[in-house]
Structure 1
Amino acid sequence: MASGNFALSVPSFWKTVMPSSSYMAALDPDLSRFQRGGGKLILWHGWNDQHISPQNTLLFWDAMRAAMGGDSVDRFARLYLFPGMAHCGGGEGPNTFDVMTPLMSWVERGTSPYRMIANNASRSRPVYPYPAVARYDGSGSTDDAANFFAYIPRDLVRNDADWVGQRLFSGNYQTWPRAVNGKLVLSR
């Protein structure tokens, strides 16, 4: 193998195709219009997701807080990270849980969600809104959610890596498609 300096080059498709994806993707972290309309958002992700890194969800969460302010985001959104859960379920950890009931209660009664209980065949575990994690209280079974409490780690997961798609979590990368004389035209 030849030695030398190698530079990461961004494929040209990334620069041309990705900006036109705004009509298919939800990447803009400024959800102010959604919030003003009374929207409530529960994001969740499994820490053992084998298809989509939970780091992407954390990066989006941080981008939302940077774009809108943490206090604003806290009024309408929650993020839950499920230990041991794979892509959309399954995995080694408790991975069966109810998101709809807490969301409906938040929308209809104004009761913001806090702890969710995840189960599998042999264990239950509480999952708290990020950045809180479940911590064993030292008594009873470690397979019982009742024996855990919310704990906020001193050192949170780092999300400061530079990556090729970083610009996608902003409000300024999109182009908007429209038809002009039977042709698709993209404009900012």
Structure 2
Amino acid sequence: MDTCSFSAWAYGAQFYQLFIEKNITFDASTITAENLPDYMYAGYQQWESFLGTNDADLTSFKEAGRKLLTWHGIADDLIPPSASVQYYDRVAALDINVDQYYKLFLVPGLHHCVGGPGVYPVNGGLQQLVEWVENGAAPYTISATGMQPANGTSLSRDLCPYPLVSVYQGGDATNASSYRCVDTDSTSI
């Protein structure tokens, strides 16, 4: 009979070592099915106490004149992109004018922050955020570039603000000009 063993996922182990136990030598393999719920609850309690980002009411943020520009790789293997989409949808459910101060851009093929077969936002979108905050020029798209993994061909894309999606219109598939941001009803902007 074969035996089954596991090794802790590096990020998960570090979470328990540094965040929950506050002990770099803590062995995450000592966590059992019986005490896992306690660890999960402790993690939630500690995380929420200083980094709670679950509140969808951004009224005070909006009234202070602030802007939020978020991008999330669709191929993120650490944080599900659906979490960002669900949060945006919850904010939008409370404020139909959400796009006046908060924009979410989904990045096809991008892993967690970097890497993957997709493109990466140029300057991380910082310049677009600066233009929005300082000059009131809300970003309609964010420029992104990358390399095609198979052959190293340069790629350019304009990322669309959620819920719009980038749809190929014909032409050079590696060039941003061959795509348009399209709403779910298929009308382009």
For residues 79-118 of structure 1, what are the alpha-carbon distances to aligned partners after superposition, in whole Å with 9 as ceiling and x for unaligned?
0000000000111011242311111111111111111111
The reply to whether residue 125 of structure 1 matches residue 157 of structure 2 is yes
The answer as to 2:104 corresponding to 1:79 is yes
Q: Whose helix proportion is higher, 1 or 2?
A: 2
Separation of aligned partners in 2, 1:39 and 1:53:
26
Give the aligned residue type for 1:144: N
2:121 and 2:142 in contact (8 A); partners too? no
The Cα offsets for residues 153-179 of structure 1, whole Å up to 9 and x where unpaired, read as 359xxxxxxxxxxxxxxxxxxxxxxxx
Q: Which residue does the alignment assign to 2:117? A: 92
- Higher relative contact order by CA 8 Å / sep ≥ 6: 1 or 2? 1
Matching residue of 1:63? 90
Q: Indicate the residue corresponding to 1:41 in structure 2.
A: 68
Counterparts in 2 of 1:48 and 1:101: CA distance versus 1, 3 Å: same
1:113 corresponds in structure 2 to: 139
Give the structure-1-normalised TM-score: 0.69
1:103 corresponds, among 129, 140, 149, to 129
Post-superposition offset of 1:27 = 2.0
TM-score by length of 2: 0.69
Q: Which residue of 2 aligns with 1:142?
A: 173
Structure 1 gap segments, 5+ residues each: 1-9, 156-188
| Superposed displacement of residue 11, structure 1 | 3.0
* Alignment partners' CA distance in 2, 1:18 and 1:154: 39
Percent of residue pairs identical: 32
Q: Which residue of 2 aligns with 1:53?
A: 80
Q: What is the alpha-carbon distance in structure 1 between the residues aligned to residue 65 and residue 84 of structure 2?
A: 22
> Unaligned 5+ residue runs, structure 2?
1-35, 148-153
On the 8 A contact 1:89/1:96 being kept in 2, the answer is no
Task: Find out whether 1:24 has 2:24 as its counterpart.
Answer: no
Checking the alignment, whether the CA contact within 8 Å between 2:166 and 2:179 is kept in structure 1 is yes
Aligned length: 143
Is this contact kept in 1: 2:73–2:113, CA < 8 A? yes
What displacement does 1:42 show? 0.5
Question: What CA distance in whole angstroms lies between the structure 2 residues aligned with 1:96 and 1:112?
Answer: 16
Q: What is the alpha-carbon root mean square deviation over aligned residues?
A: 2.1
